[in-house]
Amino acid sequence: MFQKILIANRGEIALRVLRACKELGIQTVVVHSTADSDAMHVRLADESVCIGPPPSRESYLNIHQIVAACEITGADAVHPGYGFLSENAKFADILAAHNITFIGPSGDHIRIMGDKIEAKRTAKRLGIPVVPGSDGAINDDKEAKRVAAEIGYPVIIKASAGGGGRGMKVARTEADLEIALQTAKSEAGAAFGDDAVYIEKFLEKPRHIEVQVFGDGAGRGVHFGERDCSLQRRHQKVWEEANSPALNAEERSRIGGICATAIADLGYSGAGTIEFLYENGEFYFIEMNTRLQVEHPVTEAITGIDLVHEQIRVASGGGLSVRQEDIKFNGHAIECRINAEDPRTFMPSPGTITHFHTPGGLGIRVDSGVYSGYRIPPYYDSLIGKLIVHGRNRVECMMRLRRALDEFVVDGIKTTLPLFRDLVGNPDIANGDYDIHWLEKYLAKGE
Ligand code: ADP
């Protein structure tokens, strides 16, 4: 097992990882920018190293500084959290070259999944169902028209290097195709420095369902069930649940089994998430994230397994603590992402939190790095906390969520809490009857 882990992140996830390290008896080092000197994870860590000024590229994305912090403190492993360097293959390679363990998959696996065309090709080869579309990059209008006619309109053009929902264009008819192809290409080139694009069938009303997988790096793979993350705004997840209200136990074990086998065949090591669009009973692979996800706590709630412990065990060569048959799904869990944003316009609302009171009681978990008197720096994303609620079934979970939201107090800044208080009372949400467009439509109506 590791002696000392350096946590290369900030906010709630840095604290989340720190807690897991403490429970495993591992020393902790955190790195932070000058804007985060008074952050909770800095206060609670055994050691902390200031690695630069507020802008991320000079601190949390500064590989040299982070490697230097490892050398100075003698850390033998790095947990990257999510975002920042968590899916940076070069970072994984550089750590390996310094004999520091990256708590995550190999640089090569990160690289494959970071290139969407390559990821889709790999998924298909491993027997994962994919969205019908072009086999690789599309080079000209003629090829685009041929592929689109084959799969049928509407189609979506996506950037191979894409991320965060950028560089995607929908073409409803052949007349739209040329212009969609051109704009997708130029947007991709400008945003990612790589203008490779591909085409796939556009699904009209899918749900977003993702499978949590783990590989032990020695040819074994397991799945921890799925999460339904269909409630999104601008491709950003807002509310996540496990299990998905749309799946039954057979569907869960079928898609889970396919993913676990794929992970085993790939020789993958650590946590991963295989994301699908789900429509009319069919799964369509869209991408794989090679890291811990923001929404992992809903999976922990229904399985009772600490996924960060598992990540650390696997990275240290200790293997997974569970076999597939040990993983049971109990009850239902929902996570609400609480952002420091205006709940109507979603404009960021940094500032000082004058009062912070979190709900408690059975089945309630709050992951947050903020506290009363904390000043939210304006440089980073607006997530200030996650409320995760567990119940024996979805109805109990929703009732508990409603009362937890009533107890939650954040004063001094605007937050998205009022949005969740509205959602929890909505009949479609109560019925689990929503797709990836539901939230945008609901917000557009301004109810
Ligand atoms: P990114 O990495 O940019 O987030 P994804 O491939 O994960 O890109 O897709 C982001 C979102 O775009 C999906 O959650 C979905 O809302 C939409 N999307 C992607 N592919 C399709 C498709 N084939 N049909 C319909 N919507 C899609």
Atom of ligand 1 lying closest to residue 133 CA: 23
pLDDT tens figures, 112-124? 999 999 999 999 9
Helix axes 107-114, 116-125, angle to 10 degrees: 100
Is the C-beta atom of 131 inside 6 A of ligand 1?
A: yes
Identified catalytic residue from 207, 220, 252, 291: 291
| pLDDT higher than threshold 80 for residue 72 | yes
Q: Which of 115, 120, 187, 286 to mutate to test the pocket of ligand 1 (most atoms within 8 A of CB)?
A: 286
The residue-averaged pLDDT of 396-406 equals 98
**Residue 208: CB within 6 Å of ligand 1?**
yes
- The boundaries of every CATH 3.30.1490.20 domain in the chain are 132-201
Catalytic residue check, 291: yes
CA angle 272, 275, 280 (to 5 degrees): 150
DSSP secondary structure code for residue 341 in this structure: B
Q: How many residues does the chain have?
A: 447
pTM above 0.85, yes or no: yes
At 447 the pLDDT is 57
Atom 23, ligand 1: residue with shortest CA distance: 202
- The domain made up of 4-103 has a fold known as Rossmann fold (3.40.50)
Question: Per-residue pLDDT tens for 237-294?
Answer: 999 999 999 999 999 999 999 999 999 999 999 999 999 999 999 999 999 999 999 9
Per-residue pLDDT reduced to its tens digit, 188-244: 999 999 999 999 999 999 999 999 999 999 999 999 999 999 999 988 999 999 999
Please say whether the beta carbons of 94 and 63 come within 8 A: yes
Give the CATH class of 207-445: alpha beta
Report pLDDT digits (tens) over 300-357: 999 999 999 999 999 999 999 999 999 999 999 999 999 999 999 999 999 999 999 9
CA distance 154 to 44: 52
Which among 311, 309, 303, 300 has a CA at the least distance from the CA of 270?
A: 311
CB within 8 Å of 417: residues ≥ 6 apart: 338, 343, 405, 408, 410
Query: What confidence tens digit (pLDDT) does each residue in 427-436 have?
Result: 999 999 999 9
Atom of ligand 1 nearest to the CA of 167: 3
Return residue ranges of the chain for CATH 3.40.50.20.
4-103
Q: Is the pLDDT of residue 388 over 60?
A: yes
How would residue 69 be classed by pLDDT, with cut points 50, 70 and 90? very high
Is any ligand 1 atom within 6 A of the Cβ of residue 156? yes
For 350, residues 6+ apart whose C-beta sits below 8 A from its C-beta are 340, 376, 377, 378, 382, 413
CATH 3.30.470.20 intervals, the chain:
207-445
Is ligand 1 within 6 A of the CB of residue 287?
yes
Centroid of ligand 1 to alpha carbon of 309 (angstroms): 30
Give kind and range of the element (H or E) at residue 404: helix 394-407
The CATH H-level superfamily of 132-201 is ATP-grasp fold, A domain (3.30.1490.20)
> Span 157-178, mean pLDDT?
90
Q: Ligand 1 pocket, 436 CB below 6 A?
A: yes
Question: Are the CB atoms for 223 and 84 separated by under 8 Å?
Answer: no
Q: Ligand 1 centroid to 444 CA: how many Å?
A: 20
